[in-house]
Amino acid sequence: MAKITLSKLRHSYLSTPKSDSDYALKEIDLDWTDGGAYALLGPSGCGKSTLLNIISGLLVPSEGKILFDGKDVTALPPDQRNIAQVFQFPVIYDTMTVYDNLAFPLRNRGRDEATVHQRVMAIAEMLEVTEMLEQKAAGLSPDNKQKISMGRGLVREDVNVVMFDEPLTVIDPHLKWKLRSKLKELHQRVKATMIYVTHDQTEALTFADQVVVMQLGEVVQIGTPVELFERPAHTFVGHFIGSPGMNILPCELQHGAAVFAGQQIMLEGPIQGAAEGQTEIGIRPEFVSLAGHGLPATVTKVSDIGRHTVVECEAGGCRINAVTEGAAPEKGSAVHLAFRQDMTRLYVDGWLATAPANATGEQGAA
Amino acid sequence: MKTENQKAWFFVLPVLALVAFNALIPMMTVVNYSVQETFGDNVFFWQGLDWFQQILRSDRFHAALGRQFMFTFLILIIEVPLGIAIALSMPRKGFWVPVCLVLMALPMLIPWNVVGAMWNIFTLPDIGLLGYFLNHVLGISYDMTQDPVAAWVTIVTMDVWHWTSLVVLLAYAGLVSIPDAYYQAAKIDGASNWAVFRFIQLPKMKTVLTIAILLRFMDSFNIYTEPFVLTGGGPGNSTTLLSIDLVKIALGQFDLGPAAAMSLIYFAITLLVSWLFYTLMTKDDLN
């Protein structure tokens, strides 16, 4: 177990990268604390798997360093980093039994059979595969195969970090949930640092204590699921997390206040910095309500998603989603939208530019 | 409810007819010859299993069969490991892949009799490139028309040159189908190169290798043209393989009865050994 530090990490798959866009990873500085459960979340091609492979040592970064507990491991091969990785498609050794599969990493490291046996039995029990131990691994179902490849990672006592690269891709939906809670339980039992790569926000938010959101080779935000939901640091995070995503409305700034479609919108707090560039208001559909006053809008679509109703409205040439409970208006009707003020953010060039009012104490609730 | 539908058989009929004409009927004529004696003019005398007895008891047949097994054994023991080794050392991606594949495929594109003629000229002691080099530059006495060992070395080398590519291409196809994640996982698990070969590459190549071994067995066991053109079975009878001996009996001596019996025995052995190979190599897949 170790604390993992990524320092000024950059990676390009080209031999002579010229511009910033040639980099799959653009300057990453990160600390992963010992024993944390992290998720690396981002759309396909955002560089999350590249980052994972750099940590595991399968890839050597073009620039920058990786430190395990302060020790530089950038040049070390995977087997000397003492890490474990679970891949998208379950990797098992077909010709071996489940027991031999689990024992493989230990035997390769020359552990004596007594230790091997004790560890394999412990891990098998943890993964609930004890009754399959004598079976040939080739005949297992995909979810059990994935369990075995997880087990091969966990069987070593001293793994620094266990990494999961979209491990539930090939698992049936009804088993995904089971395996995910198994993972969470394993994390609590073995207390190893775990990094979970996924493009599925549900997987990321349920597994991780801290979610690292990536886009185009950059880390846009690191935070708890609640932080990501409530205060997205970037419009991308607001958009990517949540269903439906955050409403992003282009606005103008007049005397320090945001104006959208001729209406002044009250922000959560004062604007930080110069606020030059493209300005946008960000508000989650959950905090938009249909009211007797506020922004006039027309309902364009109403979808019932079970517990809530998503009301899609149009105002000032923009689409605004509102999540409501209870009676929803008819399609085509005119409504007024009210934004919850402490949840209304301003973004400048995509980045969060407002601070909460109570943090600065300048503005009370209006 | 399952509905039985036999109409599919109609689709098989043309193939059945074709196979009957090019395999079953010719083979039945062989069966016909194998149990009768003829002196021409379509006059036949019933002979029973005499020809089979005669062949099975003949020293000549035993010797040819022994040579045949020896030849096939050498071919398999050399070509299969060599083919795997070459496939393992070929690049998996990049510019050199098509180059390697084409180079590998080239020997297989050459007709059998041309291969025999090429190697014949290549190894002639006085004018052949290899023969001249061995005899006159290195001073090694090498003449496959005189020396049985040289003849054997030549026919085996020729077959290795001609057919190892088949094993290479099949093994390579198996290798490239292995996802990168397997190698990455093996690296993380601390597996040695040998362990990667033993537990990842070999199992993944198993199916194609089964096919490769079967094909190489059948082809080398039935080989005729190349050694016939190269050595004609000589010097003496040292490279007279089963097929060469069979043709000598049938067309040289015109002993059609014994030749027919011999070809049926030959066929039965090929079939039996192929079945044995296949059963042994696939028995793990059943459980």
Residue A360 lies in a domain: no
Minimal CA separation from A26 to chain B, in Å: 24
Residues 6+ apart with CB under 8 A from A339: A265, A266, A281, A283, A287, A288, A294, A295
Query: How confident is the model over B44-57, as a mean pLDDT?
Result: 81
Contact (CB, 8 A) for B199 and A96: yes
Both tokens of residue B164?
């190892």
Alpha-carbon distance of B27 to B272, in angstroms, equals 17
The per-residue pLDDT for range B138-177, each reduced to its tens digit, is 878 878 888 888 888 889 999 999 999 999 999 999 999 8
Residue A363 lies in a domain: no
Which pLDDT score, from 0 to 100, does residue A119 have?
Answer: 87
3-state class (DSSP) for residue B11: helix
Residue A358 lies in a domain: no
Q: What is the ipTM of this complex?
A: 0.74
- Whether the bond into B107 is cis, omega within 30 of 0: no
Both tokens of residue B221?
């066991």
pLDDT band per the 50, 70, 90 thresholds, residue B1:
low
Whether pLDDT at B80 is above 90 = yes
Q: Is the CB of B187 less than 8 angstroms away from the CB of A96?
A: no
Which pLDDT score, from 0 to 100, does residue A341 have?
Answer: 85
H-type alpha helices, A165-299: 173-190, 201-207, 225-230, 235-240
Q: Tell me the CATH number at A153.
A: 3.40.50.300
Judge if A200 and A224 occupy the same domain.
yes
Residue A102 lies in a domain: yes
Which pLDDT score, from 0 to 100, does residue A359 have?
Answer: 55
Domain that residue B264 falls in:
56-286
Q: Strand A4-11's sheet: what is its strand order?
A: A25-32, A4-11, A63-68, A71-72
Minimal CA separation from A153 to chain B, in Å: 8
Place of tokens 């919850």: A340
Which pLDDT score, from 0 to 100, does residue B286 have?
Answer: 53
pTM of the predicted structure, to 2 decimals: 0.75
Place of tokens 């393989």: B241
Q: Is the CB of B179 less than 8 angstroms away from the CB of A89?
A: yes
Place of tokens 């009211």: A291
Whether pLDDT at A280 is above 60 = yes
Q: Is the CB of A109 less than 8 angstroms away from the CB of B190?
A: yes
pLDDT band per the 50, 70, 90 thresholds, residue A364:
very low
Q: Can you state the angle between helices B59-89 and B202-221, rounded to 10 degrees?
A: 150
State the DSSP string of A196-207: EEES-HHHHHHH
The per-residue pLDDT for range B12-30, each reduced to its tens digit, is 999 989 988 888 888 888 8
| CA dist A103 → A154, A193, B186 (Å) | 11, 22, 13
User: Which of B179, B200, B284 shows the shortest C-beta gap to A93?
Assistant: B200
> Which residues of A are less than 8 Å from B209 in CB distance?
none
Query: How confident is the model over B90-98, as a mean pLDDT?
Result: 88
> Which residues of A are less than 8 Å from B188 in CB distance?
56, 78-79, 83-85, 105, 153
Query: How confident is the model over A327-356, as a mean pLDDT?
Result: 84
Judge if A296 and A194 occupy the same domain.
no
Partner B, chain A 86-105, Cβ-Cβ below 8 Å: 87-89, 91, 93-96, 104-105
The per-residue pLDDT for range A302-322, each reduced to its tens digit, is 888 888 888 888 888 888 888
Residue A359 lies in a domain: no
φ, ψ of residue B130 to 5 degrees: the values are -70, -45
Partner B, chain A 119-148, Cβ-Cβ below 8 Å: 136
Residue A206 lies in a domain: yes
Residues 6+ apart with CB under 8 A from B227: B116, B155, B233, B239, B241, B244
Q: Strand A247-250's sheet: what is its strand order?
A: A247-250, A279-283, A345-348, A351-352
Q: What residues does A71 pair with on adjacent strands? A: A68
A192 versus A99: which is more confidently predicted?
A: A99
Domain that residue A268 falls in:
243-352
Place of tokens 């010859």: B33
| CA dist B95 → A12, B90, B101, B194 (Å) | 21, 12, 11, 27
| B162-183 CB burial, b ≥16 within 10 A, e <16 | bbbbbbbbbbbebbeebeebbb
- Whether the bond into A244 is cis, omega within 30 of 0: yes
Both tokens of residue B113?
């009799």
How many contacts (CB atoms, under 8 Å) link A and B? Answer: 54
> Which residues of A are less than 8 Å from B192 in CB distance?
108
Residue A365 lies in a domain: no
- Domains: count for chain B: 1
pLDDT band per the 50, 70, 90 thresholds, residue B217:
very high
Judge if A82 and A213 occupy the same domain.
yes
- The kind and range of the H/E element at A338 are strand A334-339
- Domains: count for chain A: 2
- Whether the bond into A17 is cis, omega within 30 of 0: no
Residue B12 lies in a domain: no
Judge if A14 and A161 occupy the same domain.
yes
Which pLDDT score, from 0 to 100, does residue B167 have?
Answer: 94
First to last CA, chain A: 49
Judge if A158 and A28 occupy the same domain.
yes
φ, ψ of residue B45 to 5 degrees: the values are -120, 135
The per-residue pLDDT for range A187-206, each reduced to its tens digit, is 888 778 888 888 888 888 88
Q: Strand A252-254's sheet: what is its strand order?
A: A252-254, A257-260, A263-265
> Which residues of B are less than 8 Å from A56 in CB distance?
184, 188
User: Which of A79, A88, A136 shows the shortest C-beta gap to B187?
Assistant: A79
Alpha-carbon distance of B227 to A167, in angstroms, equals 56
Minimal CA separation from A44 to chain B, in Å: 18
Residue B46 lies in a domain: no
Which pLDDT score, from 0 to 100, does residue A365 have?
Answer: 37
Residue A26 lies in a domain: yes
Which pLDDT score, from 0 to 100, does residue A363 have?
Answer: 41
Which pLDDT score, from 0 to 100, does residue A362 have?
Answer: 43
| Closest-CA residue to A195 (of A50, A66, A85) | A85
φ, ψ of residue B186 to 5 degrees: the values are -65, -40
Q: What residues does A313 pair with on adjacent strands? A: A299, A320
User: Which of A78, A91, A108 shows the shortest C-beta gap to B181?
Assistant: A91
- The kind and range of the H/E element at A21 are none
> Which residues of A are less than 8 Å from B195 in CB distance?
108
| Closest-CA residue to A81 (of A107, A54, A102, A61) | A54
Q: Tell me the CATH number at B171.
A: 1.10.3720.10
The residue from A230, A263, A298 where one domain ends is: A230
Alpha-carbon distance of A176 to A174, in angstroms, equals 6
Query: Kindly report the CA angle at B154 between B148 and B155, in degrees rounded to 5?
Result: 95
Which pLDDT score, from 0 to 100, does residue A220 have?
Answer: 87
- One-letter identity of residue A33: T
The least confident of B98-102, B193-197, B250-254, B266-270 is B250-254
DSSP A16: S
Q: What residues does A345 pair with on adjacent strands? A: A282
| Closest-CA residue to A121 (of A98, A142, A143, A140) | A98
Judge if A210 and A259 occupy the same domain.
no
A190 versus B76: which is more confidently predicted?
A: B76
Contact (CB, 8 A) for A285 and A247: yes
Judge if A96 and A214 occupy the same domain.
yes
Whether pLDDT at A366 is above 50 = no
pLDDT band per the 50, 70, 90 thresholds, residue B7:
confident
- β pairing state of B36-38 and A351-352: unpaired
> Which residues of B are less than 8 Å from A153 in CB distance?
188
